[in-house]
Structure 1
Amino acid sequence: MIRATPILTALTLALALTACGKGGKPDEAKAASPKPAAPLLLAPEDLRQVGQSGLIGAPVINGAIQPARRADLRAEVAAVVLQVAKDNGERVRAGDLLIRLDATAIRDSLTSADEALRAAQQNFEQTERVLARQRTLNQQGMISMQGLEDAEVRRNAAQSELAAAKSRAVTARQQVSRTEVRAPFNGVVSERKISVGDTVQVGRELVKVIDPASMRFEGQVSADRLGELKLGQPVAFRINGFGDAEFRGKLARIDAAANPTTRQVELVAEFDDKAKAPQVSGLYAEGRVESADRRALVLAESSIVRQGDSAFVWKVAGNQLKKVAVTLGERDDRRGEVVIASGLAMGDQVLRAPTGSLVDGAPVQRVASGAGAASAVPAAAAASK
């Protein structure tokens, strides 16, 4: 019998173990290989484009949206309110009845004025006939010149009284018409000040009518910035109640005098698109006058990630996500925008609201609106299973 040496036995065992290792399970080796990363799904609402603006540092305008055509209708006669035909928010056409006042006492005055006019007319006609006879008699030498002159004086006095009576009748008729308050133009009733049964005096405010189609931005700007303003300059502003929606217009008027108390100058900006203007007056608005001398690249602050003194953005370059360092400039607190001094170019697309789980060089995939970053995590998790 041949006895195996210890060296041979060890060599045989090593060869056997090596053979076993090569013939291991192929599924385990395959599972150990890395899988490609799932792409980040990006919809249009997940991206923001780097833009250019001349608003940062430009003059600030504070004011409200007001109609150019507005009427504060007031009582022109003292009377009791009998009818309120239109209420707040109702549309009216020019000439529509808004308020009717009690005209009883005024109609009595009109009747009296008409009677006085009739009497004055008869008196004038009579003095005219008397004067005509006196002239005939004077020509025949039957009365003196003094008698003729007396007849002319009476005729002239009757003529003056007739003119005064006509004026009183016209005034009384106008007073009757003023008991009916009508819309001066097509518009909307914005504020009703009285109710049925109220007694109003002359000058009492009754109702306000505005034309919603004539809305504009009326604001004030510091007199210190007046030298930077010119008619026709673009204005960008936001309106309270419309969220982050931005409206644009142009300077249409700059007042020639500053307010002696606030030292601010009144100005008016017309909407570029009047169809998009709010239909409600009095809404607070704030904006800036755009200046060509101040144009710079800007980006919303929510797209910028800060790390200590440095800052970067996640830029979409082709089908990849790139981490790009940027140099920041002036910040606009009102608009939430920051000047990008370097690192980006006009038109670059960056993530609107980046998170901390992003990887430089990660693949991205463009998807339709509504199927973007919100579904990227579930999609990646599903792909990794």
Structure 2
Amino acid sequence: MLRPSLLILALCLSVSACKKGANQSASASASAQVTVQVTKEDYFTIENNALASGPVITGSIQPERKADLRAEVSAIVMQVMRENGEVVRKGDLLARLDDTSFRDQLASSEQAARAAQQTLDQAERQLERLKTLRASGMTSMQALEDAEIRRNNAQSELVAAKARVVAARQQVQRTEIRAPFDGIVSERKVSNGDTAQIGKEIMKVIDPTSLRFQGLVSAESVNVVKAGQSVSFRINGYDQQFVGKVRRVDPAANATTRQVEVLVDFVGSSQPKVSGLYAEGRIEAGSSQALTVMSGALVRDGDKTFVWALQDGLLKRLQITVGERDVRRGDYAVLSGLKAGDKVLRQPMSTFKDGSKVVMIPSAGATSASTTNAAVSASAAAGASSSSSANTPSASATGK
């Protein structure tokens, strides 16, 4: 005979087991009865589409118009007028170098040019006097020739002096770094007090409206790339697809990588605002017909790919095989697992259960429209009723 404590323990265990079994059966029945409500906007139909194909192109976004402004004289940087990212106009002063010595040279050259001009004027006057005296026979031919030589030497000295003035003035102008075209300062290289040697980079100016895609393609694919072909590519930092057109294919391959450079112009007004960003895309060298599936509908699990499809009123998790990606829309070609006419959910969720029942419901727009129409009809009916009651005379009024 069991002791009272063991009997009570056995009863408790049996009751808990019954409760656990009831809970499991309830959860099992609940999971079996899970339904998924779906609208027409939640799925799309698998069908044949044109699939663009072509070689992959990688590269960066670079401006066509860019200038590396360098020092043309050796001097101290006195002032920097512009910072990175500032908009500049053609001819704007960007930086100024110390021009003290160059202005002294200019003043000295101008003084030498004035002295040369005076010497020439004096030599010409002397020559004219000797010509007059020679006509009257009062001077020798040798004296006249010597005067002509002095005049010619004075002319040569004046030309040389003027050239030195021009050179000195150019040196003064070179102490002012100005913008060569309308653009943006992309990189400032110096600060006030720096020593600028000849050839030292001062600033970089780019034209943001002249950006283009400088890409590279493999030498094996260059035979199918031609000018005028469309290019779809993405730029690092931008969540959108850009479209371009091949302008030129470089006739020489890179000696190290054996890749060929391809220049691509942007098509349309959609362009990035920053240069130097990495870009990757595909050149549309051809197209073919294939079943396609949206990239957002794919579920990756290791090296396997799945989609959630609607079949016979149930939600099915199907394994599929995808091929190349369309460069224009981003869709993938379906190699196996789906057929034309299958319905696939656009946005799969981790809470979906394979075999769940699917219930089609009206879209939110249709529901709100029907609700609005019903409300308008009810309002109109109420208005008509109140209007008729107001127009009907009362019994007491008729009696009078």
Q: Same fold (TM over 0.5)?
A: yes
Match of 1:84 among 68, 72, 80: 80
Match of 1:260 among 244, 255, 271: 255
Q: What residue identity is the alignment partner of 2:264?
A: A
Residues 307, 73 of structure 1: alpha-carbon distance in 2 compared, 3 angstrom cutoff:
closer
Q: Which moved more, 1:174-183 or 1:201-210?
A: 174-183
Report the Cα offset of residue 78 of structure 1.
1.0
Q: Does 1:286 align with 2:280?
A: yes
Partner residue, 1:61: 57
Q: Percent identity?
A: 49
Report the Cα offset of residue 353 of structure 1.
2.7
Report the Cα offset of residue 110 of structure 1.
0.6
Partner residue, 1:221: 217
Report the Cα offset of residue 241 of structure 1.
1.3
Q: What residue identity is the alignment partner of 1:352?
A: Q
Q: Which moved more, 1:218-227 or 1:306-315?
A: 306-315
Report the Cα offset of residue 324 of structure 1.
10
Partner residue, 1:176: 172
Report the Cα offset of residue 178 of structure 1.
1.5
Residues 124, 306 of structure 1: alpha-carbon distance in 2 compared, 3 angstrom cutoff:
closer
Cα distance in 2 for partners of 1:105, 1:49 equals 78
Partner residue, 1:357: 353
Q: Which moved more, 1:139-148 or 1:285-294?
A: 139-148
Cα distance in 2 for partners of 1:75, 1:288 equals 41
Higher RCO (Cα < 8 Å, 6 or more apart): 1
After superposition, residues 236-255 of structure 1 pair within 5 angstroms as 236-243=232-239, 245-255=240-250
2:358 aligns to what SS in structure 1? coil
Q: What residue identity is the alignment partner of 1:364?
A: M
Partner residue, 2:293: 299
Contact 2:310 2:358 in 1 (8 A): no
Contact 2:187 2:204 in 1 (8 A): yes
TM-score, L = length of structure 1: 0.74
Residues 357, 41 of structure 1: alpha-carbon distance in 2 compared, 3 angstrom cutoff:
farther
2:348 aligns to what SS in structure 1? coil
Report the Cα offset of residue 365 of structure 1.
3.8
Contact 1:188 1:212 in 2 (8 A): yes
Q: What residue identity is the alignment partner of 1:141?
A: G
Residues 99, 148 of structure 1: alpha-carbon distance in 2 compared, 3 angstrom cutoff:
same
Partner residue, 1:23: none
Q: What residue identity is the alignment partner of 1:126?
A: Q
Match of 2:334 among 336, 340, 345: 340
Cα distance in 1 for partners of 2:155, 2:206 equals 46
> Mind listing any 5+ residue stretches in structure 2 that lack a counterpart?
1-31, 366-400
Q: Which moved more, 1:120-129 or 1:35-44?
A: 35-44
Contact 2:50 2:287 in 1 (8 A): no
1:111 aligns to what SS in structure 2? helix
Partner residue, 1:188: 184
Partner residue, 1:197: 193
Instruction: Render the CA deviation track for 1:363-384: whole Å, top value 9, x for unaligned.
Output: 3346459xxxxxxxxxxxxxxx
Partner residue, 1:132: 128
Contact 2:46 2:292 in 1 (8 A): no
Report the Cα offset of residue 306 of structure 1.
8.4
1:39 aligns to what SS in structure 2? strand
Report the Cα offset of residue 169 of structure 1.
0.5
Report the Cα offset of residue 354 of structure 1.
5.6
Q: Which moved more, 1:75-84 or 1:342-351?
A: 342-351
Q: What residue identity is the alignment partner of 2:79?
A: Q
Residues 145, 315 of structure 1: alpha-carbon distance in 2 compared, 3 angstrom cutoff:
farther
Report the Cα offset of residue 146 of structure 1.
2.7
Instruction: Render the CA deviation track for 1:58-85: whole Å, top value 9, x for unaligned.
Output: 2121111111111111111111111111
Contact 1:43 1:366 in 2 (8 A): no
Report the Cα offset of residue 192 of structure 1.
0.2
Q: What residue identity is the alignment partner of 1:189?
A: V
Contact 2:87 2:183 in 1 (8 A): yes
Cα distance in 2 for partners of 1:47, 1:152 equals 100
Report the Cα offset of residue 221 of structure 1.
1.4
Q: What residue identity is the alignment partner of 1:82?
A: M
Q: Does 1:121 align with 2:117?
A: yes
Report the Cα offset of residue 303 of structure 1.
2.3
Contact 1:66 1:218 in 2 (8 A): yes
Contact 2:33 2:357 in 1 (8 A): no
Partner residue, 1:167: 163
Cα distance in 1 for partners of 2:302, 2:67 equals 57
Cα distance in 1 for partners of 2:230, 2:121 equals 70
Contact 1:233 1:290 in 2 (8 A): yes
Partner residue, 2:270: 276
Report the Cα offset of residue 53 of structure 1.
3.1
Residues 310, 71 of structure 1: alpha-carbon distance in 2 compared, 3 angstrom cutoff:
closer
Cα distance in 2 for partners of 1:43, 1:293 equals 28
2:220 aligns to what SS in structure 1? helix
Cα distance in 2 for partners of 1:346, 1:231 equals 38
Report the Cα offset of residue 253 of structure 1.
1.6
Partner residue, 1:330: 323
Equivalenced residue count is 331
Contact 1:303 1:354 in 2 (8 A): no
